[in-house]
Chains A and B, each alone.
Chain A
Amino acid sequence: MCVALPGKVIEVYEKDALVDFSGNRVRAVSGLVPIAVGDYVLVHAGCILQKLSVGEAQDMIKLFEELEEV
């Protein structure tokens, strides 16, 4: 139930935003985090919960690199 998906903000309205999930576009309520067109956001139960930090891929690479020799 805590399923939340990352999507890209396409348009921003007064109280919600249009978010694209690989071509599937839904309106999600905004207001919990500042957003702009082009941001990647986490949507849960029709509500934008968090903005994804830029360079997610870099974060993952960094995390893997930080692992000491396995």
Chain B
Amino acid sequence: MTDISHKITQIKEWLAAYDGPDISIMEVCGSHTAAISKYGISGLLSEKLHLISGPGCPVCVTPTGYIDRLIELSMESDTTIVTFGDLIRVPGRKNSLAEVKGEGARVEMVYSPMDILSLAKANPKNQYVFAAVGFETTTPVYAMLLEQLISEHITNVKLLTALKTMPEVIGWLCEHTEEIDGFLAPGHVAAVTGSDLFIPLCEKYRVPFCVAGFSAEELLLAVYGIFKAVVDDREKGLKPEVKNYYPSVVTARGNETAAGLVNRYFESCDAVWRGIGTISGSGRKLRKEFEQFDAGSDLPMEDHKKNQACRCDQILMGKALPGDCPLFGTVCTPMNPQGACMVSEEGSCHQYLMYHRTR
């Protein structure tokens, strides 16, 4: 047995045998939720260890008012909405973009925001609006798009932004919930921002953070690392730390070129989160000098449930599991989603249903 597989066996034994006080760790990132399901990591944990999904799937946290605004724009005769695939089925107050497509709305799905360039150049009389959602990982891509739009003098592309930032929502969770003992920090956000992003939160709220990768080994290592950090803190009084368990991609300071580019085009703003409400300073919007690229993102964003029984809000805050929702798997399914967490492949409800997760 190699050293690593021996360690992995030991880690699995520790995670299964843990019998101390309950520990709850939030994985903030939607891709982590998906990978944890795929690799069956929650099934390796003792009943005293809990992984809870957080508000880190940008599609899931986008308020209904944003979807309604996209639908409004898509109905304008000269405007096409361009979006990532998973946003198209997210319900607004009444409908999703997919549902209104049959009523004449113009919606295009793309793999990359950059794909809007060829669309815009081929049809210069048409207006294109990119549904710019995302966290720190995706914002640099929009900044790169703006660079291209400016250098190629393309004037028929705008962004409708609902960009979010991690530290403010994590801080909000620390202040509004008591259930979270530590955080599995989002690896691809940290690839851009650097792991130092989480140090002020770690110090202020006295909770440990482990930056995690996305392979089975990387995740298992970080999951063990974060549970062990909570145990060490409780038993030995060790000061909580930010640990980087994804060093192949994440450095302390991240990609400073990307950060600089993001700051050139975007500034901080308050943002509305689905089911949570407004969190101060938790978003990014285009700077005033680039407002010609904005499709009206500053309009007030309302958030109304499509189905009043939907518990996405509680689930996004880690206060309920998908199975606690009365709609889960019956009224609300991936084919007929009532809330955003069932739509995205990274949404908690979607993952719990697809992988028959109960915990």
Q: Which residues of A contact B (CB under 8 A)?
A: 1-4, 6, 15, 29, 31-33, 42, 44-47, 49-50, 52-53, 56, 59-61, 63-65, 67, 69-70
If the complex has contacts A63-B245, A64-B221, A70-B224, are A44 and B255 also in contact, measured as CB distance less than 8 A?
Answer: no
Taking a contact as CB atoms under 8 Å apart, the answer to whether A46 and B141 are in contact is yes
Taking a contact as CB atoms under 8 Å apart, the answer to whether B113 and A45 are in contact is yes
Taking a contact as CB atoms under 8 Å apart, the answer to whether A46 and B192 are in contact is no
Taking a contact as CB atoms under 8 Å apart, the answer to whether B249 and A52 are in contact is yes
Q: Which of B39-47, B132-140, B270-278, B308-316 binds A? A: B132-140
Taking a contact as CB atoms under 8 Å apart, the answer to whether B224 and A33 are in contact is no
Q: Kindly provide the distance from the CB of B144 to the nearest chain A CB, expressed in whole angstroms.
A: 6
What are the residues of chain B within 8 A of A15 when measuring CB–CB? 148
Taking a contact as CB atoms under 8 Å apart, the answer to whether B192 and A50 are in contact is yes
Taking a contact as CB atoms under 8 Å apart, the answer to whether B248 and A53 are in contact is yes
Taking a contact as CB atoms under 8 Å apart, the answer to whether A70 and B13 are in contact is yes
Chain A residue nearest to B11 (CB atoms) is A70
Interface size of B by Cβ–Cβ distance < 8 Å? 52
A62 CA / B225 CA spacing, docked (Å): 14
Taking a contact as CB atoms under 8 Å apart, the answer to whether A49 and B112 are in contact is no
If the complex has contacts A1-B138, A32-B257, A63-B221, are A46 and B188 also in contact, measured as CB distance less than 8 A?
Answer: no
Q: Which residues of B contact A (CB under 8 A)?
A: 3-4, 7-8, 10-11, 13-14, 29-31, 56-59, 84, 86, 111-115, 133-135, 137-138, 140-141, 144, 147-148, 186, 188-189, 191-192, 217-218, 221, 224-225, 245, 247-249, 255, 257-258, 261, 344, 346
Taking a contact as CB atoms under 8 Å apart, the answer to whether B135 and A2 are in contact is yes
From B148, B257, B344, A1 is in contact (CB under 8 Å) with B344
Among B59, B114, B248, B344: residue with most chain A CB under 10 A: B248
A29 CA / B142 CA spacing, docked (Å): 12
Taking a contact as CB atoms under 8 Å apart, the answer to whether A67 and B137 are in contact is no
Chain B residue nearest to A54 (CB atoms) is B248
Taking a contact as CB atoms under 8 Å apart, the answer to whether A49 and B137 are in contact is yes
Which 7 pairs show the lowest CB-CB distances between chains A and B?
A: A46-B112, A56-B248, A70-B10, A2-B137, A47-B141, A2-B188, A64-B7
From A4, A31, A70, B144 is in contact (CB under 8 Å) with A31
Beyond A2-B137, A3-B31, A31-B147, 13 additional contacts (C-beta under 8 Å) are A1-B57, A1-B84, A2-B135, A2-B138, A31-B144, A44-B137, A45-B134, A46-B141, A47-B141, A53-B247, A53-B249, A59-B248, A63-B221
If the complex has contacts A2-B189, A4-B137, A64-B4, are A46 and B31 also in contact, measured as CB distance less than 8 A?
Answer: no
Taking a contact as CB atoms under 8 Å apart, the answer to whether B13 and A44 are in contact is no
Q: Kindly provide the distance from the CB of A7 to the nearest chain B CB, expressed in whole angstroms.
A: 13
Taking a contact as CB atoms under 8 Å apart, the answer to whether B191 and A50 are in contact is yes
Taking a contact as CB atoms under 8 Å apart, the answer to whether B141 and A45 are in contact is yes
Can you give 18 A-B contacts (C-beta < 8 A)?
Answer: A1-B30, A29-B112, A42-B188, A44-B141, A45-B84, A45-B134, A46-B112, A47-B141, A49-B140, A49-B191, A52-B248, A59-B247, A61-B4, A64-B4, A64-B8, A67-B11, A69-B10, A70-B11
A49 CA / B189 CA spacing, docked (Å): 10
If the complex has contacts A1-B344, A32-B261, A45-B113, are A60 and B4 also in contact, measured as CB distance less than 8 A?
Answer: yes
